[in-house]
Amino acid sequence: MRNYSEDFGPFEGTVWINTSHQGALPRMAVESLREAIEWKRSPHYLIDSTLFNRVPQKLRTALGKLINAPAEDIILGNSASYGLHLLANGINWKPGDEVLLVDGDFPATILPWLGLKKRGVQAKFIKPQSGCLRADDVAAGISERTRLLCTSWVFSFTGAKIDVSAVSEVCRSKGVKLVLNASQALGTQPFDVSEGLADAITSVGFKWLCGPYGTGFCWIEPELRESFEYNQAYWLAMQTADDLKSPQSVPRIKDGLGARKYDVFGTANFFNFVPWTASIEYIENIGTARIKEHNDNLVRHLIDRLDQSRYEILSPVELEERSTIVIVSHRDSDKNQPAFNRLQDEKIFVAMRNGCLRFSPHLYNTADEIDRALDILNSL
């Protein structure tokens, strides 16, 4: 199997098993960033006004290919929260409407909906019976007032992965919109929006999609998107930089812009979108199915080699609900912090979440690096 770690780094002797916090830039993305820096270092490059259209369009095309969506249906953002706020503030709510959320989900997936209380929209929380949201939990939580379910695809604090197909089937049968925060899955799990499983997905770009911080995007089913009542009129969505070269009249609002009407402002964003496009193209060249196989092997290796007489695996271990996030706790939980400190002393970086150790390996990790971390844990 190819050693993908050669496409990243150098990591200067460290081991980064913390993609659920930040993904590393591939080397080819770093080279693209250097080129973008040159544009700004010598601004005469930016006289080429087509850059202001080419940069976002190239990224839109790459993201569309990633999820099998037309490029014109991709909304460029700076986070997962950007897309969630578009939905929360754009949908035509009625007093008494209800939004279903998941107890214990990441705050970014919850907070945009809570502000709707002022408009008479209630947030209702599902508490999964098994620790992972399942179709039965959703069916039990839906009421006659429920209009939308918003959930993570993979949960940051547990590593649990929902069965999107089963949850979608329940939502469809009840006429409930399904919104997925795919931040902890997209880039390591294939997803095809043409299958109609979700009405919207949103994701950051700086985790498993290996982009810079401050990147993200969303896809919203076109009919839902066109029903929005949302006041946004970004000037570069309404015209091009070339329009400034001609005598100006009063700007006008244009219709029929599609998804780009809702792009984050500053869509050329050279320092973020140029390297992120290179990262997406790198991921597509490998293929998410192959990436999933690579990461699944690393996770299985971690689970198999961990001394489970000393440590408990709190994440799902069966493939159907397992993701690339593994939450581990020493059976004496007071020893989790010393274990974390020892790993850091050895330049092995994982995360501490809710007092437990969180491992999240990706393409740039190897079985040898997992062994290096486990040798330390198993020796404590």
Nearest to 267 by CA among 60, 26, 23, 72: 60
- pLDDT at 181 (0 to 100): 98
Secondary structure class of 310 (helix, strand, coil): coil
Secondary structure class of 269 (helix, strand, coil): coil
pTM: 0.94
Is the CATH number 3.40.50.11900 carried by domain 33-284?
A: no
- 151-to-14, 175, 190 alpha-carbon distances in Å: 34, 16, 18
CATH fold, domain 4-17+288-379, is: Aspartate Aminotransferase, domain 1 (3.90.1150)
**Residue stretches of the chain with pLDDT short of 50:** none
Per DSSP, the residues of 244-292 read: GGSPP----PPS--GGGGGPPS-TT-HHHHHHHHHHHHHHHHH-HHHHH
Crossing angle, helix 80-90 and helix 107-114, to 10 degrees?
A: 20
- pLDDT at 248 (0 to 100): 67
Per DSSP, the residues of 157-174 read: TT-BB--HHHHHHHHHHH
Enumerate the domain spans of the chain: 4-17+288-379, 33-284
The amino acid sitting at 220 is I
The amino acid sitting at 62 is A
Tens-digit pLDDT profile for residues 310-330: 999 999 999 889 999 999 999
CA distance 220 to 43: 36
Q: Determine how many CB atoms are found less than 10 A away from the CB of residue 34.
A: 12
- pLDDT at 256 (0 to 100): 81
Which tokens hold the place of 238? 């309404």
- pLDDT at 216 (0 to 100): 98
* Total length of the chain: 380
